[in-house]
Homo-oligomer: A and B are copies of this chain.
Amino acid sequence: MTDPDRKGGDAVTDPAALTPAEARALFRGGLVTPTAGYSAGYAQANLIALPREWAFDFLLFAQRNPKACPVLDVADAGEVSASVFAGDLRTDLPAYRVYEHGRQVAETADVRDVWRDDLVSFLIGCSFTFEAPLLAAGVPLRHQEAGSNVAMYATNRRCRPAGRLSGPLVVSMRPVPAAQVADAVRVTSRYPAVHGAPVHVGDPAALGIADLDRPDYGDPVEVRPGEIPVFWACGVTPQAAVAASAPAFAIGHAPGHMAITDARDADYQVP
């Protein structure tokens, strides 16, 4: 496996075998890497931290856009851990993006120096959570095979606004062999809290995606003959809303560089 995005710390030979606490310790120690495949069996989460005065608008935005923004947990203003995340939200993700008035002003591995006590932190379900069940069902995952980040795209679909927050739906894409698309739908629909079933199958242009080779976030992923691009709602959507709506301050995870939670994938599975 190659991992051009990985830096800091020693190579991790078996990331799937790490406990969430072990993975968080590596990230706290400086390892910067996309987290797909880490800590198998444990749910991963997107982070968006906003000032208290934006918290209601965001929680309502999430309620109105549940496929893109399934809320797993909320840390009250000033808190840096959560019931599903026993680590430190300021240091234990591999990388963060810091926003001022909607513009990204930094990408960094530690946000303690810019953290504010009025930040309310939202942990949003991540599609990496259903990747283990996809693999178990025989659906290949090229970004994991390639050791690269998943490909993500801002679409032409608008989220339902809430208060001052609005923005586009962001999706992640995985190429799926045509014979296995139904399996991919079936498996992921059992995980509604981590984006659930795909929002779109097979037609990038209908989502306003002009070129699959140029994702807005993450790395390009090859779509081979006989494969269909399948699109799931993505937890980067809140950061696209931040970019579009310009709250004075916000912190998000770097796309693909997730919070590894202590919750089990199975906790979010429905019958």
A-side interface residues toward B, CB under 8 Å?
55-56, 59-60, 63-64, 71, 74, 76, 163, 189, 192, 270-271
**Distance (whole angstroms) from the CB of A66 to the closest CB of chain B:** 10
Question: In the complex, A271→B59 CA distance in Å?
Answer: 26
**Nearest chain-B residue to A163 (Cβ)?**
B76
Q: Beyond the given A56-B59, A63-B71, A270-B270, please list 11 additional residue pairs across the A-B interface where CB-CB is below 8 A.
A: A55-B56, A56-B56, A59-B59, A59-B60, A59-B63, A60-B74, A63-B74, A64-B74, A76-B163, A189-B271, A192-B270
The chain B residue with its CB closest to the CB of A63 is: B71
Q: Which of A55, A59, A74, A189 has the most CB of B within 10 A?
A: A59
Task: Please give me the 10 A-B residue pairs with the lowest Cβ-Cβ distance, nearest first.
Answer: A56-B56, A59-B59, A55-B56, A63-B71, A60-B74, A270-B270, A63-B74, A56-B59, A59-B60, A189-B271
Q: Least Cβ distance of A12 to chain B in Å?
A: 33
Q: Tell me if A's interface is mostly helix, strand, loop or mixed.
A: helix
A189 to B271, CA, bound (A): 9
Residue in chain B with minimal CB distance to A72: B63
Q: Report how far A64 CA is from B83 CA in the complex, Å.
A: 11
Closest to A271 in B: B189
A189, closest chain B residue (CB): B271
The complex places the Cα of A169 from the Cα of B57 at a distance, in Å, of 26
Residues of B within 8 A of A189 (CB): 271
Note all chain B residues with C-beta closer than 8 A to A56.
55-56, 59
Nearest Cβ on chain B to A120's Cβ, whole angstroms? 8
The distance in angstroms between the C-alpha atoms of A270 and B192, with both chains bound, is 10
CB-defined contacts of A64 to chain B, threshold 8 Å:
74
Using Cβ atoms and an 8 Å threshold, which residues of chain B touch A192? 270
Chain B residues, Cβ within 8 Å of A60: 59, 74
Kindly list chain B residues whose C-beta atoms are within 8 Å of the C-beta of A59.
56, 59-60, 63
14 A-B interface contacts by CB (under 8 A):
A55-B56, A56-B56, A56-B59, A59-B59, A59-B60, A59-B63, A60-B74, A63-B71, A63-B74, A64-B74, A76-B163, A189-B271, A192-B270, A270-B270
- In the assembled complex, which residues on chain B have CB atoms less than 8 Å from the CB atom of A71? 63
Q: How far is the CA of A64 from the CA of B163 in the complex (A)?
A: 22
In the bound complex, how far is the Cα of B270 from the Cα of A270, in angstroms? 9
